[in-house]
Structure 1
Amino acid sequence: MSWPMVKLKDCCEVVGGATPKRNVAFYWDGDIPWITPKDVSNLSEPYIYEAPEYISKAGYKSAATYMLPVGTVLLTSRAPIGNVAIAGIELCTNQGFKSLIPGRNVHNKYLYHCIKRFVPQLELLGNGATFKEVSKSVVENFEIPLPPFEEQKRISDILDKVDGIRQKREQAIKIADDFLRAIFLDIFGDPVKNPKRWGVTSLLEYGSFKNGMNFSKGESGTVLKCLGVGDFKSLATITCMKNIGEIELNTLPSDDYLLKDGDIVFVRSNGNKALVGRCLTIYPGKEKVTFSGFCIRYRIGNSAIVPEYLNFLFRTPSMKQQMLSGGQGANIQNISQGTLSALKIPVPPLEKQQAFSKIVSFHSALMEKLDINTVETEDMFDSISQQYFN
């Protein structure tokens, strides 16, 4: 579809923001909503209706910020570039925005979807040594396709419907995950407090650990899948190896470095502390899959422990905290086999673990269907967006 390309400054008013001085108390805690890029980073819908901070009229007058009307498209221009939202209330922003007040011939929801589509191009226009930022001039001169107003409304309605389907699937996934965590606690109780007085033991009593392999990029000849930190995401279980990356080695590694069904893999070390200690259960079947040196593999060697039980035990906040404090209350940057071996874990009756395992299997099947549908919906959304905005 071909529509005229129009500079944003010719169809919108581009407005920046500012921050009143923090050390002047009466500039703050007033009645004027004031937001930063952080406040629009995790919205579940396009509109923002609340602000975590408020400034006073004196604070507003002291800074070069601007009261934005309802319907303004909020675009973060640094740290990071490209978070987009719509003002659901009158508000003002700090200097991390280049907000777009739509002209009379611009539908704000169309503008919202359009800007989101062009974020990668805007990011390329950013400048700065410490962090990238797009200037007001860059945003003003950025061109977007601008069909007639009624066509803009029709396009935004279509994209809203597809996006609504995607959001409902994401909500269903979250509800199912929350349900599974609640079921675990109901059956077994908190694993650190152990209110049901299960017998406790060390992981070494029921299995063995192995650190992942380190390899050179210069190796060649043998290609196989390698589970890395980037594959964990928020997954509890991996049964399909399709999305796991490949590495090339001179020779096939020993069996100890190949994962087996029911192995539990932990993130051993990572620059992002939030990822350290994350775990998942993997079922590679007959496929040869190894794991990176930033991971630790735990292999159960005793039928009295079920992988799904152990996996969710380590996903509880209390056990995760115990793991990351090394039992000594001090946060650590990485975990080791020793860290994991020192933890005392409750061992409930096998039949209770097996009952929970069946629930996990049902949950996994449901998640697989939802994930497939979510991917299909995202592909459809991208395809429609590309059709309208390219």
Structure 2
Amino acid sequence: MKHRVVRLGQVVDINPSTKATDSADELVAFLAMADISEEGRVASVQQRPLAEVQKGYTAFQAGDVLLAKITPCFENGKAAFVEHLPTRVGFGSTEFHVLRPTKEIDPKFLFHLVWNANFRRLGASRMTGSAGQKRVPVAFLADYEFSLPPLHEQRHIATILDKVDGLRRKRQEAIRLADEFLRAAYLDLAERHPAAVPVETLLAGVPNAARTGPFGSQLLVSEFTESGIPVLGIDNVVSNAFTWAAPRFISAEKYAVLERYTVRPGDVMVTIMGTTGRVAIAPDDLPTCISTKHLCTLTLDQKKMLPTYLWACLRWDPEVKAQTRREAKGAIMEGWNMGIVKGLLVNAPPMHVQLKFEEIASRIKRMSSAQVLAAKGTDELMTSLSAKYLEPTA
């Protein structure tokens, strides 16, 4: 049999009716949006009395594919093939589309079809509704055209994609475990060497050792250029490791005005707006850059505090977390400020302890870097295979 071009609505029942049991007291499976991971899996299953959920929630059954329809959950990959359920019928968020495969399409092939990045990009461009409440319409799903292979080939494709995805997950888990090991190493050292001092006492004796900004009219969006001096923001720090993200630049002339906001290699950068408390260290090969008002940048006296140790302390120390929670409750506006960061009491043990931690961190970073590189290769393979097997017809 040859491939044939079909619309999704021809081979899938979209948001079908699902008959529940007659017993209102019976427990049924329930999936909130948080129970579906962005990795395309059912992360957890709740159970609730049927009477609580049979009205006002979305019904589904084992064998269905759930697809988040609201932004940003759809774009972020919240979808799952519900292979098994502890009860005959399940209920979930009203922000799910339910896709029930007919006999013409393999359910795992269907999952990969709607979970791949190209499908999500196209779906996001067809969303309707107001900002922040945009949703993927049923019409987009029903009219989506793709090349449908014979069933045996669909199953073969799904098996290949499942194996690549499994490998990707293993590599991501290795990265997570390395990070967890480093967290445990920090907490052990901090517990055995308690010594709390304010961040401001650890700063280098240079002008603007702690800085945020530029603010307001100091730097306008219209002043960004296509090349020049990079401008660092939340997206460079949000993963708790320095990464290059969407490029933003200012001219050399504008940099001369904003030079006080320069980020130096070894500086510790903390997000203070949006996603607060993320932290990264400026790499040794960082070119001349400035930071935005969304970051608090710290230049440390490295005879008192090593950047790697402060990075760990700000990420994982329970006393620091308790302080930031208290500050957040008392804040007039969401977010932190430079005063909050400078006033944090952080663990500052003797230098030999910090050096020991830095040695451990260096070893783990080397191992993690290999895994990150391998994971990137697996991601690229997944993207390539998805493009090969799951491309839309137009």
TM over 0.5: yes
Corresponding position of 1:247: 249
**Which amino acid letter does the alignment assign opposite residue 129 of structure 1?**
S
For structure 1, list consecutive stretches of 5 or more residues without a partner in the other structure: 21-25, 190-194
Give deviations 1:336-387, integer Å, cap 9, x for gaps. 2222232223321110100101111122222222222111111111011101
Aligned residue for 1:129, secondary structure, equals coil
> Once the two structures are aligned, what percentage of the paired residues are identical?
21
Name the CA distance, whole Å, in 2 between partners of 1:128 and 1:371.
37
**Which amino acid letter does the alignment assign opposite residue 98 of structure 1?**
H
Name the CA distance, whole Å, in 2 between partners of 1:374 and 1:338.
39
**Which amino acid letter does the alignment assign opposite residue 72 of structure 1?**
D
Mapped contact 1:16–1:98 kept (Cα < 8 A): no
Corresponding position of 2:46: 52
Name the CA distance, whole Å, in 1 between partners of 2:145 and 2:268.
50
- Residues 106 and 288 (structure 1 numbering): CA distance in 2 closer, same or farther, change over 3 Å? same
Aligned residue for 1:314, secondary structure, equals helix
User: Normalising by structure 1, what TM-score?
Assistant: 0.83
Structure that is richer in helix per residue? 2
Count of residues paired in the alignment: 364
- Residues 164 and 350 (structure 1 numbering): CA distance in 2 closer, same or farther, change over 3 Å? same
Corresponding position of 1:311: 311
Corresponding position of 2:220: 216
Mapped contact 2:67–2:97 kept (Cα < 8 A): yes
Aligned residue for 1:293, secondary structure, equals coil
Equivalent runs, 1:131-280 vs 2, <5 Å: 131-189=133-191, 196-198=193-195, 200-207=196-203, 208-213=209-214, 214-219=218-223, 223-236=228-241, 238=242, 243=245, 245-249=247-251, 250-253=253-256, 256-270=260-274, 275-280=275-280
Name the CA distance, whole Å, in 2 between partners of 1:216 and 1:129.
27
User: Normalising by structure 2, what TM-score?
Assistant: 0.82
Equivalent runs, 1:332-343 vs 2, <5 Å: 333-343=334-344
Q: Give the C-alpha shift of residue 43 in structure 1.
A: 5.7
Q: Which moved more, 1:241-250 or 1:281-290?
A: 241-250
Give deviations 1:93-133, integer Å, cap 9, x for gaps. 34323212211221111111011132222333332236223
For structure 2, list consecutive stretches of 5 or more residues without a partner in the other structure: 204-208
Does 2:70 correspond to 1:78? yes
Does 2:104 correspond to 1:105? yes
Name the CA distance, whole Å, in 1 between partners of 2:43 and 2:17.
18
Name the CA distance, whole Å, in 1 between partners of 2:113 and 2:155.
12
Name the CA distance, whole Å, in 2 between partners of 1:221 and 1:52.
49
Aligned residue for 2:6, secondary structure, equals strand
**Which amino acid letter does the alignment assign opposite residue 73 of structure 1?**
V
Q: Give the C-alpha shift of residue 251 in structure 1.
A: 4.0
Corresponding position of 1:23: none
Give deviations 1:194-243, integer Å, cap 9, x for gaps. x7443x3322222131223342344469711222111112224x3xx754
The two structures, once aligned, show a CA RMSD in angstroms of 3.0
Name the CA distance, whole Å, in 2 between partners of 1:370 and 1:203.
33
